[in-house]
């Protein structure tokens, strides 16, 4: 809805309404979350086959401002793309496992309410990905984990960081804003495992982190184990670029708290989301 948003911002509400009514039968084009949502629905299809009576599925809620003026066009778009959505106005105060928006202000508000949230960016050309399995990629510190270790690294350097990680190898890191979303994915994965489909599970999770595999990686692994959570594939890059690994994974969505990695991923056509969490991001926002 980028063109429509520009009309709203530059020409005002009346021109926006007029344009939407005139283009009511024209479906909206897919946005950056489109392939992610299609993959969620593919998981739901498999879940319904295995658990016909279960309501434990992905629920996708589409939230938009000025909904009353575009209801019919949204319905036509949803039907055209054969999607399943609930629709509501632009309020995210109810409980949700993940909130995505192109508006960083709304994302920060959601995070402040304790809701897992991230800002989506649209690559110039989105890499095509297969509909299944659903592939979700997380950064570690500031995303799955708190930013406590990252702050020590930024303030006191690599040597102090590694010393601290070695000393506290068996002390779990605090949880980050997207831990709950990983838990939700893991809960649904176990439904497939319970039917003997671990190897054919349509959900795969990845951890792609700048930590190394030895000292700091051990603490990350121990933290996940203490939470009772599994990651299907883990990549400890020791500060190397993330782009080549992300290109190999071809994830439907990638979360990182550093804009440099988000931008790197976007250049490769990967749908990347910024998680504006932690001290470094707060200080950046204050400077802005």
> Given CA atoms 155, 283, 111, 181 in this order, what sign does their dihedral have?
negative
Active site annotation includes 59: no
Q: For residues 92 and 106, is the Cβ–Cβ distance under 8 A?
A: yes
Give the chain as a DSSP string.
-HHHHHHHHHH-HHHHHHHHHHTTTSPPPP-TTHHHHHHHHHHHHHHHHH-TT---S---EEE-TTGGGTHHHHHHHHHHTT---EEE-S---S--S-EEES-HHHHHHHHHTT--EEEE---SSPPP--SSSEEEEE-TBTTTB-SHHHHHHHHH-HHHHHHHHHHTTTSPPPB-TTHHHHHHHHHHHHHHHTTT-STT-SEEEEEEESS-SSHHHHHHHHHHHHHT---SEEEE-TT--SHHHHHHHT-SEEEES-HHHHHHHHHTT--EEE---SHHHHHHHHH-
> Given CA atoms 156, 157, 160, 166 in this order, what sign does their dihedral have?
positive
Point out the catalytic residue in the list 139, 141, 256, 257: 139
Residues marked active site are found at 139
């Amino acid at each position: 809805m980028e063109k429509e948003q520009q009309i709203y911002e530059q020409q005002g509400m009346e021109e926006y309404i007029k344009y939407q009514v005139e283009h009511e039968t024209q479906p909206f084009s897919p946005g950056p979350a489109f392939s992610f949502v299609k993959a969620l629905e593919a998981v739901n299809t498999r879940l319904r086959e295995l658990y016909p009576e279960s309501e434990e599925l992905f629920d996708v809620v589409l939230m938009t401002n000025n909904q009353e003026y575009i209801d019919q066009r949204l319905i036509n778009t949803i039907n055209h793309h054969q999607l399943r959505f609930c629709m509501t106005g632009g309020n995210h105060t109810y409980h949700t496992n993940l909130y995505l928006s192109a508006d960083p202000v709304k994302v920060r508000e959601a995070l402040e309410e304790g809701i897992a949230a991230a800002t989506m960016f649209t690559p110039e050309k989105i890499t095509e990905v297969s509909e299944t399995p659903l592939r979700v990629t997380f950064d570690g510190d500031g995303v799955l984990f708190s930013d406590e270790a990252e702050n020590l690294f930024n303030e006191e350097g690599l040597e102090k960081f590694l010393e601290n990680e070695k000393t506290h190898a068996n002390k779990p890191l605090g949880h980050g804003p997207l831990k709950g979303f990983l838990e939700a994915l893991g809960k649904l994965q176990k439904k497939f495992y319970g039917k003997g489909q671990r190897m054919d599970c349509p959900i795969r999770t990845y951890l792609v982190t700048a930590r190394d595999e030895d000292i700091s990686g051990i603490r990350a692994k121990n933290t996940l184990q203490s939470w009772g959570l599994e990651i299907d594939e883990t990549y400890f890059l020791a500060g190397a670029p993330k782009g080549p690994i992300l290109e190999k994974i071809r994830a439907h969505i990638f979360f990182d708290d550093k804009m440099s990695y988000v931008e790197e991923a976007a250049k490769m056509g990967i749908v990347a989301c910024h998680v504006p969490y932690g001290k470094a991001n707060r200080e950046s926002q204050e400077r802005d």
